[in-house]
Amino acid sequence: MTTFLKYVSIFMAIERMIIIIFDAGQFFQVMVIANPLSDTVFKWLMADNRIARFFIQTLLEETVTEVEVKPQELVYDKEGNSIMAASFAIFRLDYVATIKLATGEYKKVLIEIQKARNITDIMRFRNYLGKHYMKEDEVIIDGLTTTSILPIVTIYLLGFKLPEIDTPAVKVSRQYINQINHQVITQKNEFIEKLTHDSYIVQIPRIDGKIQTSLEQVLSFFEQKYYIDDTGMLKEYPYPIVDEDMKLIADALHYAGLDPIKRRMIETENEAYRVYLATTKELQEKLDFEQKARLAAEKTVQEMLNELAELKRKLGTT
């Protein structure tokens, strides 16, 4: 960051204002926005139907004409340690969106933001997915509510890196392949569609500020840089706003960063995250110690068995 932008950061941190920057012969705004990696902030974004539709269709690269987003609420034990309770749940906030594509097809989109890696992630994801495969959904067709089993699409927003994959966005896409002649089958089938699914994975730490495509523009809001303080709650958004949908997201994030109530909610979440990291680190260290002890014990037993076998061999030859 240039010295000029550092001073801009300081000014914004004090005033919480939009700053006008002159760069390459053009004026554009550098906004202070709330960090959308926060579950509180992401929930605020997805509560807006137009933002949710734009976000989902940009990731899916398909035109979405209707969307109904239903956040899966988390309930904390208010009489107990709410911070401790939040620490085990708030980084697993899930959303279910029923969408209608331009083709008239309905789908169920499962959106999950996972801030930190956990040793139980994979099993939890599988259980969560299994529950939705078992669940029917209500959709409104021609003004009438009907129950249907919808095809599923999953979107995972990860706050950590998958070491083998070095791109910020991955699409895992199905194809129908004729196994006899290996030709691609273009016709879809209801049985197959409702028992298999496409998946989209975003690695937030790999977002690098490139904004050449629509997807990169949307993901740029999640870039984990340009914080204005040590909490990571607020950050600068130093890129031009290219269209009305992007402006809606920027304005929503800007408002979330300024609103005192939402700020307090974000602060609570950050404290929960701190507790969560400390607790999971302690658990991981305990598991690592137990695993090392078990491996050492197994090695000792194996060495004893080898010595016994060697002794038997020597006794057998005398």
φ, ψ (nearest 5 deg) of residue 124: -65, -40
DSSP-derived pairing of the beta strands 234-237 and 176-177? unpaired
The C-alpha torsion from 112 through 117 and 120 to 121, rounded to 10°, is 30
Residues of the chain with pLDDT under 50: 1-17, 20-25, 27, 73-91
**pLDDT tens-digit map of 209-245:** 888 899 999 999 999 999 988 888 899 999 988 899 9
Tokens encoding 112: 């999950």
- Single out the residue of 35, 38, 32 nearest to residue 10, CA to CA: 32
pLDDT of the residue at 123 = 80
- The pLDDT value recorded for residue 127 is 84
**CA-CA distance, 303 to 297, in Å (whole number)?**
10
Give residue 22's pLDDT.
Answer: 46
Q: What confidence score (pLDDT) does residue 232 get?
A: 85
Q: Report the alpha-carbon distance of residue 270 to residue 24 in Å, rounded.
A: 37
